[in-house]
Amino acid sequence: MTFRDLHQPRNPFLLANAWDAGSAKMLARLGAPAIATSSAAHAFTLGRPDGGHVTRDEALAHAQDLVAAVSVPVSGDFENGFGHDPDTCAETVRLSAEAGLSGISIEDAALPEDRAYDFDHAVERIRAAVAAARALPADFVLVARADGVMNGHYDIDEALRRITAFDEAGADCLYVPLPKTMDDLKRVIGATKKPVNVLVAGPYALHDRAYYASLGAARLSLGSALARVTHRAIYDAGRAMIDNGDFTPLNLGIPGKDIDKLLN
């Protein structure tokens, strides 16, 4: 089954966001049908905050490491395409395919600035990325993201206007991360016949796959949520050890031999 074939409305697959070769291999061995990078989780591994602090070359090299580690498709969480202009988005698509990625997502946040691209420019960027994807020798899934609701830049009506335009521009999958309400998510899914990605994080992690299938979702991604679970373990164990001299949290880890089995 190709990466595109996995995108089936009402039968969502888990796109498991990993942050290094080891986490990618573990998730794939556990049964994840596809792996994705996470811009935030990757930034964390470099000791940097999320939001435009990783270069395209770094992101591509990181993606190649994940592609080499697993036999399932890998998709790139590539922020704003690493540049403001449409030609840069198109070049990012071409370089991503060369790196072995099966697709990428491009968002409408003008990183590293705290603003959204204006409507027309956002659409033109997706149109250029789609054209580049269609010119590739192999199939490539281009995901268009409207991040303004999550980032506080615009409301759900504007998000719907944008994904409708992204759909018309040829995007293969639409994505509005973390709508304010479940009714808003239903509006997003109902606004297109294309596959819709749902970010399973925060309050959205309180619902299961069957629920999202009933809504018509096609893809469930984790973003940096799983990486932040590991950082919670580091934080809690660190506080216990450093503040109280308590090392008992170290006994909560799974046996090394079980990890070894997933990495061999």
Q: Which segments of 141-246 does DSSP mark as H helices, in order? A: 148-151, 156-168, 182-190, 209-215, 225-244
In a domain, 160, yes or no: yes
Give the pLDDT confidence score for residue 52 in this predicted structure: 83
Angle, nearest 10°, between helix axes 21-29 and 56-69?
Answer: 40
In a domain, 174, yes or no: yes
| Number of structural domains in the chain | 1
In a domain, 26, yes or no: yes
* Consecutive H or E run containing 41: helix 39-45
Q: 56, 83, 68: which is closest to 21 by C-alpha?
A: 68
Give the pLDDT confidence score for residue 186 in this predicted structure: 98
Which stretches of 108-177 are assigned E, i.e. beta strand? 141-145, 173-175
In a domain, 147, yes or no: yes
Question: What six digits make up the tokens of 104?
Answer: 């990428």
Give the pLDDT confidence score for residue 51 in this predicted structure: 86
Chain center to CA of 65:
17
Range of the domain at 16: 3-224
In a domain, 261, yes or no: no
In a domain, 244, yes or no: no
Give the pLDDT confidence score for residue 1 in this predicted structure: 84
In a domain, 234, yes or no: no
Q: What is the pLDDT along the chain (264 residues), one digit of tens a residue?
A: 899 999 999 999 999 999 999 999 999 999 999 999 999 999 999 999 988 899 999 999 999 999 999 999 999 999 999 999 999 999 999 999 999 999 999 999 999 999 999 999 999 999 999 999 999 999 999 999 999 999 999 999 999 999 999 999 999 999 999 999 999 999 999 999 999 999 999 999 999 999 999 999 999 999 999 999 999 999 999 999 999 999 999 999 999 999 999 998
Q: What pTM was estimated for this model as a whole?
A: 0.94
Instruction: Measure the CA angle with vertex 168, ends 162 and 173; round to 5°.
Output: 75
Instruction: CATH number of the domain at 198, please.
Output: 3.20.20.60
Phi/psi-derived region of residue 36, left when phi > 0, alpha when psi is between -120 and 50, beta in every other case: beta
